[in-house]
Structure 1
Amino acid sequence: AHIYNYSFCPNPHWPSYYATASSIHHYLKDTAVKYDCEQYFKYGHKVTSAVWDEEVGETPKWPKIRGMDRFKGQLVHSALWDETVEVAGKNVAIIGIGSSGVQILPELTFSSDPKSLLAHRRALTNERNAGFRASGGGRFPQSATQEACRKSMESRLQVETSEKGRIIAKRLIPKFSVGCRRVTPSKDFLETLLDDRVECVFLDPQSNQAGGSPGTSIKTFTGRGIMLSHSASEEEEEEREFDVVVCATGYEASYIPSFELVGRDGVRLAERWSGCHRDGGTNPECYLGTTVSGFPNYFMFLGPNSPVANGGLVQAIQAQGMYIYKCVRKMQTQGVRCMEVQRSVMDEYNEHAQAYLRGSMWTEGCQSWYKRVGEGGEDRVIGIYPGSAFHFVEMMRHPRWEDYDFGYGYPGMVGSRNGPSIRQNRFVFMGNGFTRREAMGKSIGGTCVETFEEYWDLMELPGIHS
């Protein structure tokens, strides 16, 4: 749970080792209240569009199964969870065994020492970030890690004493590298699968595809539940009755905003990033997971190729927030009307990212939203940053202003006989020659002492450019 802390706001009151969605939400809300941030929020509002003027979101991924509208019970999705749903004493089906299903199944089946807290948080963050190196940075063999995970799963599934556990282990323990798909920790998911009240039905992923081999598949929803098909013959169909069906089938990871976003020359981001996994389409690309060429003044969190599986995620979000703040501050204090990452810079960055990720474990033969097939037919990783989370934080620490094009001046900054005009001189922000401190009449008698402490870590790294 402590991995979800912001560095500036530690929380010693997490109710459990693994943080639940509600406890994370409670922490974020408390943080917003503590720092008086809610005054800047707009509740009950919906962004309909954002269009660049030269002069002046996660969507649930529902399974594609026929007859969903015929089901008379309660149908919910993990992304839009209905807190009013009661499952006690009911027959419940969960479709999906990814990160959402892992967290949902166990739930449905069943301050005083700040120094110590800081040490604990540092240890957890170090362990989380070190995991990226332990996995070979995604590029090197990790046989020891795979073996350790396999033994742990077999032990928790009791394969030596449980026939059910052996069957589940055979179908559930993957052959691909640890991290090829999102790794989701859970203290009791595997144990819950062994519960007598839980039945595992493994579907053949090929059986629902044209020309796929016969196997167990979900044929359709019925008014009372789900119709399973165990072969190509209708004689092998079986109806299962359920009161509640939970679709833990993930999210649409296209990165396309839920609102219309229009940049220069009327270009729509949805059109540039159109397409979905494994159908070709335009690859979603951006710069440092934060901004896109052609869309001035547009910044985002966790865009394409962000460190979502490279270490601590919250520290990466915090680093992006500080980066965006520095950009906005530059615009406010230096008369910058617009800033936009150069297209050549964005292209080079993505060229480097794909060169790093090519041949990594994220291109192995697992189904994952981290990747899609590129125009040349090769896997293109769109969901992973080319480095560790700590590496990302360091990259975001100091914006590379040379990577941006800037437009200067605002309407009305310089008047004329014909009304307000835009003056492009980038030094207009120097104003009347006096600082804000002087204008406010504050003391200017002090001397700024430069300690140069921030420069002591400059060093030459031998062979770094070889």
Structure 2
Amino acid sequence: MSPTRPRIAIVGSGFAGIGMAIRLLRMGLTSFTIYEAAGDIGGTWRDNTYPGAACDVPSHLYSFSFEPNPGWSRAFGGQAEILTYLKHCVRKYGLAPYLRCNAPVHAARFDETRQVWQLDIGSADGDAEQIEADVVIAASGPLSRPAMPQIDGLERFEGKLFHSARWDHAYPLEGKRVAVIGTGASAIQFVPQIQPRVAQLALFQRTPPWIMPKPDKPVGPRMQWLFHHLPFTQRFVRGAIYWQLESRAVAFVVNPKLMKLPMKFSLGYLRRRVPDPALRAKLTPDYLLGCKRVLLSSDYYPALGQPNVDVVTTSIREIVADGVVTADGTHYPADTIICGTGFQVNDYGAPFDVTGIGGADLGAKWLRDGPEAYLGTSVADFPNFFIMVGPNTGLGHNSMIYMIESQVQYIAECLRELARQGARTMNLRHDVQRDFNARLQHEMRHAVWTTGCRSWYQTKSGKVTALWPGFTFSFRRRTRRVRADDYRFAR
């Protein structure tokens, strides 16, 4: 490869892929292609179109720092508005010529002899193609593969069955008996939207989430005018939101005992919104706030109190042709089952087959040890292979866009370091990865996510592999520069 014009393959066109592509153009690099499996850009904001889909991070912070949007219509952006923003970024920065849609990456293999990556690319018509790249940037994200529940008899259900991330808008829910499995971040948004439309809604809850009211409100034309004509005002608002959210990390990662105050507030909110003591008991969490994802909603609790809703806390025994049967033998008839059961994050392999030095299998490594990387970005034995929103980069308190921009900076510095070294590849040292993850798990001991609950943040063994155990600005500091000694360069 040319040190100044490496062939770069970006896999995925969500916030991470688009942000990375914009940085490459700003660096003067045009030798890249974005490979997108779907027919359009957008990642999770393209796929999750369920009723009520919206972000739980304020709009002014859930956007690129270099591309503020003065026209946000609400404090918390909805799915359609966020997708529109991403498409605006593609247009403004001229990414269309570098984008290939309907081009899923099935596998990536590192050719040790030639020091290049070989990628197997699919197409809409099923044809396969093999391309070469000097650098691969996996930006498909952890929330891209819907997880269906492992329940006996699911395949025997004769009604309509779909996952919330694959919502069937052509299917009418009016007058239907609907069973919803799961009470996570998606369910608390779509349940209030469909409750008035359905005849009966059975909500199957395994563990009640901690819920805070969502301080959402419209952004009026005066504020939009101010943000547009005086951009520093929007930067001020963004900074204020960032530090407000960042202050919560003290309770998440420093001293979980500080969660007692927000727990008291959340329980008070529950009492005010759910007057029925029996229902309130079902919805009261018995674990420390923050151990699982804290959810925001101002209409979820009122929806559950409606006469056509039944919150079921008995575990599901099986799915039958016409409904759901719980462990106590109760049969809940259903015309429709909607799975709000999240995504394949832990205890799953890589998003596509990745083979590195000596036949190293990234998916097998992650299945054996849990997802692991250095700064969530580099993995030993996989030269010039970078991951965005990788292991231990997730957050429970702030905006992932901040973390994405930090990784963009780090990968850009890696590319510059390759050029400075006059090298073809850079491969992370095993001891660097091992020591980093040992320190990371040590720091995790004091975080709220290790206080006893089970969540998608963890592997089955209990290892927290999804979240960053610290302040976001500490991650930004560690990704600002590349330490050349962390890598071995092949020239």
Counterpart of 1:197 (choices 305, 308, 330) is: 308
- Letter of the 2:90 counterpart: A
- Contact kept, 8 Å, 2:162 with 2:168, in 1: the verdict is yes
Secondary structure at the counterpart of residue 123 of structure 1: helix
Secondary structure at the counterpart of residue 489 of structure 2: strand
Secondary structure at the counterpart of residue 119 of structure 1: helix
In 2, the alpha carbon distance for the partners of 1:153 and 1:116 equals 35
Aligned to 1:227: 325
2:171 maps to 1:85: yes
- Contact kept, 8 Å, 1:181 with 1:362, in 2: the verdict is yes
Shift of 1:185: 1.4
Counterpart of 1:247 (choices 339, 343, 357) is: 339
Hey, which of these two has a bigger chunk of strand by percent? Answer: 2
In 1, the alpha carbon distance for the partners of 2:225 and 2:389 equals 34
Counterpart of 2:353 (choices 260, 265, 288) is: 260
Aligned to 1:208: none
- Contact kept, 8 Å, 1:307 with 1:388, in 2: the verdict is no
Aligned to 1:36: 94
In 2, the alpha carbon distance for the partners of 1:46 and 1:321 equals 22
Aligned to 1:107: 193
Shift of 1:191: 1.9
2:92 maps to 1:5: no
Aligned to 1:26: 84
Shift of 1:28: 1.4
Aligned to 2:268: 151
In 1, the alpha carbon distance for the partners of 2:407 and 2:323 equals 45
Aligned to 1:176: 287
Aligned to 1:342: 429
Pick closer, same or farther for the CA change 1:86–1:45 going to 2, 3 Å.
same
Aligned to 1:66: 152
Pick closer, same or farther for the CA change 1:237–1:136 going to 2, 3 Å.
closer
- Letter of the 2:82 counterpart: I
Aligned to 2:463: 380
Counterpart of 1:295 (choices 366, 370, 382) is: 382
Shift of 1:359: 4.2
Name structure 2 gaps, 5 residues minimum.
1-58, 115-139, 197-223
Shift of 1:26: 2.1
**Alpha carbon RMSD of aligned pairs, Å?**
2.1
Secondary structure at the counterpart of residue 75 of structure 2: coil
Pick closer, same or farther for the CA change 1:14–1:168 going to 2, 3 Å.
farther
Counterpart of 2:451 (choices 353, 364, 374) is: 364
Aligned to 2:483: 400
Aligned to 2:16: none
Shift of 1:401: 2.2
CA deviations 1:227-246 (Å, max 9, x no partner) are 3442xxxxx442x3323211
Secondary structure at the counterpart of residue 315 of structure 1: helix
- Letter of the 1:308 counterpart: L
Secondary structure at the counterpart of residue 298 of structure 2: coil
Pick closer, same or farther for the CA change 1:174–1:253 going to 2, 3 Å.
same
- Letter of the 1:150 counterpart: L
Shift of 1:67: 2.6
Shift of 1:337: 0.4
TM-score, normalisation: structure 2: 0.71
Aligned to 2:239: 122
- Letter of the 1:370 counterpart: Y
- Contact kept, 8 Å, 2:179 with 2:336, in 1: the verdict is yes
In 1, the alpha carbon distance for the partners of 2:177 and 2:60 equals 35
Shift of 1:373: 5.3
Off by >4 Å, runs of 4+ in structure 1:
138-141
Pick closer, same or farther for the CA change 1:167–1:390 going to 2, 3 Å.
farther
- Letter of the 1:143 counterpart: K
Shift of 1:180: 0.4
- Letter of the 2:235 counterpart: L
Secondary structure at the counterpart of residue 345 of structure 1: helix
Pick closer, same or farther for the CA change 1:393–1:84 going to 2, 3 Å.
farther
In 2, the alpha carbon distance for the partners of 1:149 and 1:137 equals 21
Secondary structure at the counterpart of residue 52 of structure 1: strand
Shift of 1:156: 2.4
- Letter of the 1:203 counterpart: T
In 1, the alpha carbon distance for the partners of 2:394 and 2:476 equals 10
In 2, the alpha carbon distance for the partners of 1:310 and 1:256 equals 26
- Letter of the 2:240 counterpart: A
Shift of 1:334: 4.4
CA deviations 1:323-351 (Å, max 9, x no partner) are 11221233245422001111111111111
- Contact kept, 8 Å, 2:447 with 2:469, in 1: the verdict is no
- Contact kept, 8 Å, 2:63 with 2:401, in 1: the verdict is yes
Q: Percent identity?
A: 30
In 1, the alpha carbon distance for the partners of 2:397 and 2:480 equals 17
CA deviations 1:363-402 (Å, max 9, x no partner) are 122121212355xxxx322112121122212221122222
Aligned to 2:132: none
Secondary structure at the counterpart of residue 179 of structure 2: strand
2:407 maps to 1:320: yes
Aligned to 1:187: 298
Shift of 1:6: 0.9
2:110 maps to 1:52: yes
In 2, the alpha carbon distance for the partners of 1:345 and 1:360 equals 23
Shift of 1:296: 0.5
Pick closer, same or farther for the CA change 1:173–1:64 going to 2, 3 Å.
same
- Contact kept, 8 Å, 1:310 with 1:387, in 2: the verdict is no
TM-score, normalisation: structure 1: 0.75
Aligned to 1:412: none
Shift of 1:139: 4.9
Pick closer, same or farther for the CA change 1:395–1:138 going to 2, 3 Å.
farther
Shift of 1:141: 4.2
Pick closer, same or farther for the CA change 1:369–1:36 going to 2, 3 Å.
same
- Contact kept, 8 Å, 1:59 with 1:251, in 2: the verdict is yes
In 1, the alpha carbon distance for the partners of 2:279 and 2:345 equals 28
In 2, the alpha carbon distance for the partners of 1:116 and 1:88 equals 45
- Letter of the 1:87 counterpart: L
- Contact kept, 8 Å, 2:195 with 2:303, in 1: the verdict is yes
In 2, the alpha carbon distance for the partners of 1:227 and 1:307 equals 35
Task: Report which of the two structures shows the higher radius of gyration computed on alpha carbons.
Answer: 1
Pick closer, same or farther for the CA change 1:32–1:60 going to 2, 3 Å.
same
- Contact kept, 8 Å, 1:263 with 1:294, in 2: the verdict is yes
- Letter of the 1:361 counterpart: V
